[in-house]
């Protein structure tokens, strides 16, 4: 039986910090359950957001159902169409995902979205999709400021286009190794470190289990 394929996208500019670490744990969970995995760092790619050319919507157009822009996302979208699950990780910057993540999502989703009464999808299969969000803010602030609600519309669109979507939020993350080097009096460095030492291993376990769910058959 062909193994499932999970592709993860790191929407953080940092390759060895909170978001990337959680994605790596998710991929390990998938790999330990027989899946093939790949991690793509979005900040390594050269692309921009949707340009509203509408070539993907043009009746009998040669790019109908596919983004017409020829840049680094073209081979990435080919990989998505061959995947069984995709996972996007991003820190929260000013209440929403990073700009690089947002541009990627615009291009990914719009090509498959149909302007019809049923909000149909041109994606040919149902696959699992997910998000891992990280935030320096505490969980209560994430809820108070609506960071989680901001993500819901995108997740609903992902579920409509691809078949399903779920997400996890990891909060109160550590921004720096040494808070004394930065203007950051908003935070208590000792409390931040304590939380990191106690909670982040649990969050990594949660990410691992998320990766397992994304590739487990029959769920």
Q: For residue 75, give the H/E element and its range.
A: helix 73-82
Lookup: tokens for 100: 């690089």
pLDDT at 180: 87
**CA–CA distance, 143 with 156 (Å, rounded to integer):** 18
Q: How confident is the model at residue 217 (pLDDT cuts 50, 70, 90)?
A: low
Contact, 40 vs 10, CB < 8 A? yes
DSSP letter string, 206-218: HHHHHHHHHH-TT
pLDDT over 80 (residue 173): yes
Cβ atoms of residues 22 and 203 within 8 Å: yes
Separation CA 195–CA 210 (nearest Å): 21
Is pLDDT at 218 greater than 60 in this prediction?
no
Q: What is the three-class DSSP state of 73?
A: helix
| Residue 195, pLDDT above cutoff 90 | no
CATH of domain 5-215: 3.40.50.360
- Encoding tokens for residue 133? 């969000």
9's enclosing H/E stretch is strand 5-10
Give the separation between CA 27 and CA 21, rounded to whole angstroms. Answer: 10
Residue with tokens 């070539």: 55
Q: Is the pLDDT of residue 139 over 50?
A: yes
Q: Is the pLDDT of residue 109 over 50?
A: yes
> Over the range 141-151, which residues count as b (16 or more CB within 10 Å of their CB) and which as e?
ebeeeebbebb
Percentage of the chain exceeding pLDDT 70: 99
The candidate with the shortest Cα–Cα distance to 135, out of 144, 126, 127, is 144
Q: What is the dihedral of CA 53, 65, 96, 154, to 10 degrees?
A: 140
Q: What is the pTM of this model?
A: 0.92
Reported as a single tens digit per residue, the pLDDT across 111-121 is 999 999 988 99
Looking only at the bridges linking them, the beta strands covering 85-93 and 36-41 are unpaired
Any bridge partners for residue 90, and if so which?
A: 133
H or E element at residue 129:
strand 128-134
């Amino acid at each position: 039986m062909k193994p499932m394929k999970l592709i993860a996208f790191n929407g953080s500019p940092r390759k060895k910090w909170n978001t990337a670490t959680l994605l790596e744990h998710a991929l390990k969970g998938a790999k330990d359950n027989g899946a093939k995995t790949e991690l793509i760092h979005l900040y390594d790619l050269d692309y921009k957001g949707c340009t509203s050319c509408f070539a993907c919507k043009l009746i009998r157009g040669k790019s109908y159902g596919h983004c017409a822009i020829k840049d680094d996302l073209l081979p990435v979208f080919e990989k998505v169409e061959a995947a069984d699950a995709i996972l996007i990780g991003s820190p929260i910057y000013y209440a929403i995902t990073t700009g690089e993540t947002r541009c990627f999502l615009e291009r990914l989703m719009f090509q498959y979205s149909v302007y019809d009464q049923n909000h149909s999808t041109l994606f040919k299969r149902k696959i699992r999709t997910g998000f891992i969000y990280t935030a320096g803010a505490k969980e209560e602030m994430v809820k108070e400021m609506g960071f989680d609600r901001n993500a819901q519309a995108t997740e609903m669109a992902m579920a409509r286009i691809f078949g399903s979507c779920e997400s996890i939020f990891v909060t109160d993350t550590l921004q720096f190794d040494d808070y004394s080097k930065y203007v950051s009096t908003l935070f208590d460095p000792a409390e931040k470190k304590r939380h990191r030492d106690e909670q982040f291993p649990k969050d990594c376990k949660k990410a691992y289990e998320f990766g397992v769910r994304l590739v487990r058959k029959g769920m």
